[in-house]
């Protein structure tokens, strides 16, 4: 009886619960849960670009193979710095990008874009 109790304790403690949230495979879920932005300016030499959001402008360093065009509608967490997956609704593709700065004015965004593109 003690052996059975010991084995059941081992069995139940070895099983652990982990929450795994799958990324949305539906683009409309992605658009509903992320910030909307419009590409305001693209440096076609480096691929870096400026996105206009509800809170100002965000500077994005391109890490993916696709470069957006001006006026493309894009979705990501533009207020959070770091590497993110960005969905381009206009072109219907996902790409990687690093949010360098956010909540900027137009002149500050151009300054930051110039600094990261041509250091």
- Mean pLDDT confidence for 87-108: 95
111 CA to centre of own chain? 22
Contact at 8 Å (CB) between 42 and 67?
A: yes
Per-residue pLDDT tens digits for 39-61: 999 999 999 999 999 999 999 99
Considering only residues 8 and 115, tell me which one the structure prediction assigns the higher pLDDT: 115
Per-residue pLDDT tens digits for 8-33: 666 665 555 544 444 556 788 888 99
- Mean pLDDT confidence for 66-81: 95
What does the block give as tokens for 55?
A: 């809170």
pLDDT for 21 equals: 44
pTM equals: 0.77
Counting Cα atoms < 13 Å in the Cβ hemisphere of 64 gives 18
Question: Rounded distance, CA 74 to CA 36, Å?
Answer: 6
At the topology level, CATH places domain 28-117 in: SH3 type barrels. (2.30.30)
52-83 b/e (C-beta count within 10 Å ≥ 16 → b): bbeebbbbbbbeeeebbeeebbbbbbbeeeee
Counting Cα atoms < 13 Å in the Cβ hemisphere of 11 gives 6
Contact at 8 Å (CB) between 52 and 40?
A: yes
Task: Give yes or no for residue 116 having a pLDDT over 60.
Answer: yes
Question: Rounded distance, CA 89 to CA 67, Å?
Answer: 13
- Compute the mean pLDDT over every residue in the chain, rounded to the nearest whole number: 87
């Amino acid at each position: 009886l003690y052996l059975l109790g010991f084995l059941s304790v081992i069995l139940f403690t070895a099983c652990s619960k982990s929450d795994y949230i799958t990324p949305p495979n539906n683009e409309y879920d992605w658009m509903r849960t992320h910030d909307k932005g419009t590409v305001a300016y693209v440096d076609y030499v480096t691929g870096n670009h400026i996105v206009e959001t509800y809170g100002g402008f965000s500077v994005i360093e391109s890490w993916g193979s696709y470069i957006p065009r001006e006026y493309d509608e894009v979705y990501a967490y533009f207020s959070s710095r770091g590497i993110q997956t960005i969905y381009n609704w206009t072109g219907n593709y996902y790409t990687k990008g690093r949010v360098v700065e956010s909540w900027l004015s137009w002149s500050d965004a151009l300054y930051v874009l110039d600094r990261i593109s041509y250091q």
